[in-house]
């Protein structure tokens, strides 16, 4: 008897080496063994998740911060801007909106479109794509908006902007305080472009622009009056559904389309001669 044959360890080793050379890398029994039921392995623990306790909103937290100083500063900067380019530069240099330091990774997102457009489209606020590219409505929702505007013959007749100019963190809805701080710039853009009407895209835009606490589904498709805070400007405004909502609820597209037809019908009405 050789010494190798006498040593069970070396027999096992050479057998394993032989199987490994033959490409065998696992050994299975004919029947599966439930080792958890057999008590040999503890059941896997669900991954530990760190969930921050959700505090009930206290009246103090729910209250909006006092932004009157930031609004006054925005007002002064906006009034001094005598062109859209100057307005965009003033917005980019303005530090009074906290979103600039919270959600925005890169830059202010101000407007795109035609400076003499008869329709001003006002959305909610930039998302990640807009933040990256520096232009409003350029992500998936924006592409749908563009297709809808094109189908309605409005591509060259709009200027597109938002109620806030920096991306809210996690794409949350901008707060009324954030919208209030940006409002003087939005109003100045309207004064400079002098559109005939506003298309308010989504509930957060319609509520902020019209100062109404009504749901978008009841506001949409009806004409409302937008007035600047000093009362100097007044325009018809049509709320409609947000394209991000339409991406989730395609069946609602027909209502948004009906809204666009309502808008184009009014836009293309011949101006009444003054009697
Ligand atoms: N949603 C908006 O409301 N505005 C944008 O610019 C992009 C997405």
pLDDT along the chain (275 residues), means of 10: 59 66 52 51 48 44 80 98 98 96 86 98 97 97 98 98 96 96 98 98 98 97 96 96 98 98 95 65
Q: Please answer whether residues 119 and 198 qualify as being in contact, where contact means their C-beta atoms are separated by less than 8 angstroms.
A: yes
**Site to substitute for ligand 1 among 112, 113, 142, most atoms within 8 A of C-beta:** 142
Q: Is the CB of 141 under 6 A from ligand 1?
A: yes
Q: What is the pLDDT of residue 15?
A: 66
Measure the CA–CA gap between 28 and 158, rounded to whole angstroms: 68
Q: How far is the CA of 4 from the centre of ligand 1 (A)?
A: 77
Q: What is the pLDDT of residue 44?
A: 46
Measure the CA–CA gap between 182 and 97, rounded to whole angstroms: 7
Q: What is the pLDDT of residue 13?
A: 73
Measure the CA–CA gap between 155 and 113, rounded to whole angstroms: 8
Q: Please answer whether residues 189 and 161 qualify as being in contact, where contact means their C-beta atoms are separated by less than 8 angstroms.
A: yes
**Site to substitute for ligand 1 among 111, 244, 246, 248, most atoms within 8 A of C-beta:** 244
Q: Is the CB of 137 under 6 A from ligand 1?
A: yes
Q: How far is the CA of 19 from the centre of ligand 1 (A)?
A: 61
Q: How far is the CA of 58 from the centre of ligand 1 (A)?
A: 30
State which CATH number among 3.40.30.10, 3.40.470.10, 1.10.3720.10, 3.30.2420.10 fits the domain covering 66-267: 3.40.470.10
User: Can you say whether residue 204 is alpha, beta or left, with left for phi > 0 and alpha for psi between -120 and 50 degrees?
Assistant: alpha
Q: What is the pLDDT of residue 125?
A: 97
Measure the CA–CA gap between 66 and 131, rounded to whole angstroms: 26
Cα 38 vs. chain centroid, distance in angstroms?
51
Q: Is the CB of 161 under 6 A from ligand 1?
A: no
**Site to substitute for ligand 1 among 128, 131, 141, 201, most atoms within 8 A of C-beta:** 141
Q: How far is the CA of 97 from the centre of ligand 1 (A)?
A: 17
Q: How far is the CA of 118 from the centre of ligand 1 (A)?
A: 20
Burial label, 44 (beta-carbon count in 10 A; 0-12, 13-18, 19+): exposed
Q: Which residues contact 171 (CB under 8 A, 6 or more apart)?
A: 127, 128
Instruction: Measure Cα distances from 116 to 8, 50, 193, 200, 272 in Å.
Output: 92, 51, 5, 18, 21
């Amino acid at each position: 008897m050789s010494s190798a044959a006498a040593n069970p360890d070396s027999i096992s080793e050479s057998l394993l080496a032989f199987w490994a050379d033959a490409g065998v890398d696992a050994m299975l029994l004919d029947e599966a063994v439930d080792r958890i039921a057999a008590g040999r392995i503890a059941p896997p623990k669900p991954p530990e998740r760190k969930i921050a306790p959700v505090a009930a909103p206290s009246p103090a937290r729910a209250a909006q911060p006092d932004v009157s100083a930031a609004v006054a500063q925005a007002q002064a900067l906006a009034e001094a801007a005598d062109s859209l380019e100057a307005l965009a530069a003033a917005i980019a240099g303005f530090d009074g909106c906290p979103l600039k330091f919270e959600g925005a990774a890169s830059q202010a997102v101000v407007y795109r479109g035609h400076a003499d457009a008869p329709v001003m489209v006002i959305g909610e606020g930039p998302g990640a794509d807009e933040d990256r590219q520096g232009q409003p409505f350029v992500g998936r929702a924006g592409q749908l908006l563009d297709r809808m505007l094109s189908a309605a013959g409005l591509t060259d007749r709009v200027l597109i902007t938002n109620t806030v100019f920096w991306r809210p963190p996690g794409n949350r809805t901008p707060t009324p305080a954030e919208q209030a701080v940006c409002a003087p710039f939005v109003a100045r853009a309207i004064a400079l472009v002098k559109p005939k009407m506003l298309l308010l895209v989504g509930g957060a835009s319609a509520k902020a622009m019209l100062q109404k606490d009504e749901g978008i589904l009841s506001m949409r498709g009806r004409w409302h009056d937008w007035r600047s805070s000093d009362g100097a400007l007044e325009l018809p405004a049509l709320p409609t559904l947000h394209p991000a909502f339409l991406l989730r609820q395609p069946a609602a597209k027909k209502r948004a389309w009906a809204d666009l037809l309502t808008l184009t019908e009014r836009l293309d009405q011949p101006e009444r001669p003054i009697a």
